[in-house]
Every structure is written in structure tokens, then in C-alpha cells.
Structure 1
Amino acid sequence: MLNTTTSYVFIHLFSYFSFNQRLFWMFRILISLFIGAVIVALNFTDDWAEARMTTNATYKSFSNVEVNAEIGLHVGLYGINITLRGNPVVQFNETIDYNEMFSWQDTIEEEYEEALEKGLPNPILYIAEKFTHGSPCGLNFQYRYSSRYASATLWTAFCTWMLANILFSMPVILYAGYMMMATAAFIFFSIASFSTIMNAPQCVFSIGTDSFETEYSHSFWLALATGVLCTVIGILVVIFYFLMPEKMNEAFSVGVDSYEDEDVPYGEGYLNSVFLTGETISPSTSKMTTVHL
């Protein structure tokens, strides 16, 4: 009974799509573009992990002047972003609004020395120092290598996503479903690689009288949601293909000629009725009858 009901639902679902081929095609394109765009964007976002707090902190070195500011640490796959925004922005006749980037590709020590030379505010220097090689926290090693592997697996997921799109346009829908599940697997591998950071002892950032720790942020959860979406799509494609391969080919317009239902105009012709009846008539007495179509 359950199998009959399930088959009934599947048949009606694909019957609906057969009457809405253009809508289904647009839906496929939008979902596919969304997945591809997210995979690429996740490599360059700076909010896989974040930490924020508002506190009073010393603003400059060799000064006891404190400012009230919002401090933020944003961790991405290519580096960290440290923000400092005053509350209000203008304090002591100075605009307090900083956004400093420190990349994994470059030597953190060199960028940290440049920050010292520029005289950046103390909170930014304090956080940046935690990511240098000499810091006892070991954040540079943890974040740098976990982010590198996460980025590599994400680019692999992008390759499998492109392969899945190619297979969807060919009469191998089943393998396209497998490739979507492979895409999901590599996205999950990327998430797992980045998550190893949280398994290590966390370094507490203490600024002023407050402290904070990094937590998973928007990009991490977006990657997880995209992986789940790819998994669902891949599983549904495989299940539907085994239950009704003809309907799947029709839904994806594979092996279906676009001109089958079109009215093709034909020109005028003449039909020899004697030839159709198979009669043999002597040439001397034959009379040819033509029928106008």
C-alpha cells in the first residue's frame, strides 16, 4: 500500500512537471546557479567564524585614554578581518572606524610589523598578535591549515558540481545524481576541515574588562545548508530514476525530441491508388488515378 501511494505521488509530481517544462527548467537553472555561486563565494567570505564585543579599551600605545568601541574578529578561509568601530564613531576628535585584513597567504609577522609601524589601535594589534607564529595560542597553525584544506575541498566540490550539470544534460541522469551527492560530500569535508579548529583548545581574547571567543558564523551555516540541499537533490534524483526512468528522462528533456508535438506543414502530393491496392494492370489498359491530398 505504501509503495502504491508513493508511486502515485511520484507519477502525479512528474505529470505536473511535464505540463510545466519551462517552469521546471527555470527552477533547475536557478537552483544550480545558486549552488555554484555559493560554493565559489564561500572561498572568499570572511565570516566562517566570528567574535564580537563592545567594551572600553585603551586606544593607543603609551596612552591611558580609553574609548568605547565595538571590536570584531572575522575568520575566513583566506585570512582574518579585524574591525574596530567607535561608539560613537568620532571620539577625542578622531574617527574610530578600522577594518584591517591579515591574509594566510602572506607572512603574518610581516603584516603585524606593518600594523605596528602604522600605529594601529591596541585592540587590533592585540588580536593580530594572537595569530602570529610566536603566540602561545597557536592560532596561526590551526586556522591556516584547516582553512587551506577547507578551501581545497570546496574547489573540488565546485568541479563535481560542474560535472553534475554536464551529466544532467546527457542521458546519464543517474550519474548526475551521484555527482550531486559527491558535491555534497566535498562540502561536508570542507566543513569538517574547518571544524577541527573548534576541537583545539580555544584562545580567549581579553580586551579591557571583557573577553570573547570565536563561534561559527554565516558562511559556515550556509555551507552546511548547501551541502544538505545537494544531498537531497542527489538522493531524490537517484530514487526517482530507479522508480521511473522514462519520466526522469522526460522531466530533464533527455532523449525527447522537441519537435514531436509540433505540427509540421507538408506540401501538396499525389497518391497512386493502384500502387497502394497492389493491383497489376497492363500498360495498355491502365488508368492512373490520382488523389489530391
Structure 2
Amino acid sequence: MFRIIVSLFIGSVIVALNFTSDWAEARVTTNATYKSFSSAIVNADIGLHVGLYGINVTLKGNPLVQFNETIDYNEMFSWHDTMEEEYEEALEKGLPNPILYIAEKFTLSSPCGLIFQYRYSGRYASATLWTAFCCWMLTNILFSMPVILYAGYMMLATAAFIFFSMASFSTIMNVPQCIFSIGTDSFEAEYSHSFWLALATGVLCTIIGILVVMFDVMIPEKVKEAFSVGVDSCEDDDVSCGEGYLNTIFLEGVTISPLTTKRVSVSY
């Protein structure tokens, strides 16, 4: 049961990591201009959450109600093709200035070029994660067959592709970072929960893969018994197989010859 739970945990995490929006995050609490053509200043928590398919920008007032308006925004911008259209829609809706400022940094016209960094790294990270998911499925299939050694190899391959996805996403940190300045404060994105969860899952897969390979080499029979594969119950000394009986009613006209056994004597 524990083995099943661990396997389901690994598979669920790999799938979930593709759709989370907290691979990288940035937060700041500051005073900022609320909306365009207005001198209203609000105090708010501003958050940037980066996923593999887009960004999520949050704005929450301190306090929540200011200027007779509830300030609690959570806007999603995806970069499947381009963010230009979504940015224009945000302008038409009249979203607060901090959200528009952050979203503008990810458009094609922005000098920061964040869209190119995050979009391509996210695509490659997602592709390698789905490859890791395929390796995980093959691992479970091989664990149900008398080829435990290859199941261990596939678990190591699962870990390798998880690490490849992390390396792909990490390329965004190797380029000059664009600093976001809102009001009198500034901030930049850093690794967040999903990135570290991917690291922990990759390490877990590595440990499991190494243990399976090592035990299969050292004690292969015990490993097969542990996974309930490749064990013939009738050949086990501790298990007695029951005798079979033939119903003679269904054997009319059939000649049955008794089985003969040969005894072999061995002289020393």
C-alpha cells in the first residue's frame, strides 16, 4: 500500500507541476497609484506568480476596502502565442496600474524581453515534465512484471527528466533580470514552491531508483517477492498446492494412463 501511495504521489506531482503558477514568485507591499488619470494612492500587496504557461498578478489592498472600493484582483496572463491581446483587454477593462505595469513587462514591445525568456523556458520545462510522466507510467508497468531492474532504471529516467525541466526553467535566472519598480519599492522574481517541489520529487525518484537497482543486483529473489512478481507459489517450499481430481463422468471413452515417475539414484 505504501508503494502505491508513493507512486501516486509522484505521478500527481508531475502532472500538477505543469499547471501551477508558482515556479517563481515576487511580492512587495507598497504605496502605488491605483488607476490611470487618478491621483489616488493605495497601500496594497502586489504579487507576481510565474508558471510554465503564463503569469498570475495579484493586487490586494491594505485594508481591503479603500476609496469605497474592494481592492482584490487576481489576473491571469498566458503566453501561448503572445500577450499583446490580453494586455489590450486589460487596458480596456481599466485594471489597476500595478497590474498593467507588470503585464506590460511581458509584452513583445517591452525592452526587458521577459516574454522570450519565460515563454521558451516554460515550454521546454513542460515538455520534459510530460516526458517524465511517461517514464513514470512505464515504471509502474515494469514494476508489475518480472523486470524490476528495468523499472529501477525508468525511475531514474523519471528523476532525470524532472531535473531537466528544472534546468530548463532555471535558464531564466542566467539572463539579466528585469527589476520591477512600483512606487518607492522594487522587486524581482525568485524560485518558489513548485520549483522546490520538483526538486524534492526528483530526489525522491532518484533514491527509489538507486535502491531498486541496488537491491535487485544484491538480492533479486527478495525484491521479486516484495513486488509479488516472478514467484511461482507451487515451487515455494512454504506453500502446498492442493491435489486435483477428475470427474469420470466427463471422461467416458477416454483412456487415462497413470503417470509414472522415474527415480534417479545418485552415487557419491
Query: Which TM-score applies when normalising by structure 2?
Result: 0.88
Question: Considering only aligned residues, what root-mean-square deviation do their CA atoms show, in Å?
Answer: 1.7
Letter matched to residue 99 of structure 2: I
Superposed CA offset, 1:205-237 (max 9, x none): 000000100000000000000000000000110
Asked if 1:224 is matched to 2:199, the reply is yes
Aligned 1:40-79 pairs, distance under 5 A: 40-79=15-54
- Structure (1 or 2) with the larger CA radius of gyration: 1
Aligned to 1:111: 86
Asked if 1:139 is matched to 2:114, the reply is yes
Secondary structure at the aligned position of 1:141 is classed as helix
Secondary structure at the aligned position of 1:131 is classed as coil
Letter matched to residue 167 of structure 1: L
The ranges of structure 1 where at least 4 consecutive aligned residues each deviate by more than 3 angstroms after the TM superposition are 257-269
Aligned to 1:150: 125
Q: 1:242 aligns with which of 214, 217, 234?
A: 217
Q: Is the Cα contact below 8 Å between 2:31 and 2:44 reproduced in 1?
A: yes
Counterpart Cα distance in 1 of 2:12 and 2:147: 24
Aligned to 2:177: 202
Q: Which runs of 5+ in 1 are unaligned?
A: 1-25, 270-275, 277-293
Change (3 A) 1:46 1:258: farther
Shift of 1:256: 1.8
Letter matched to residue 35 of structure 2: K
Counterpart Cα distance in 2 of 1:258 and 1:226: 36
Q: Is the Cα contact below 8 Å between 2:82 and 2:108 reproduced in 1?
A: no
Aligned 1:273-288 pairs, distance under 5 A: none
Change (3 A) 1:34 1:264: same
Change (3 A) 1:62 1:77: same
Q: 2:143 aligns with which of 168, 171, 175?
A: 168
Letter matched to residue 171 of structure 1: P
Q: Is the Cα contact below 8 Å between 2:121 and 2:168 reproduced in 1?
A: yes
Secondary structure at the aligned position of 1:62 is classed as coil
Counterpart Cα distance in 2 of 1:185 and 1:202: 27
Query: Which TM-score applies when normalising by structure 1?
Result: 0.81
Aligned to 2:168: 193
Counterpart Cα distance in 2 of 1:266 and 1:141: 72
Aligned to 1:20: none
Shift of 1:257: 3.9
Asked if 1:102 is matched to 2:80, the reply is no
Secondary structure at the aligned position of 2:46 is classed as strand
Shift of 1:106: 3.9
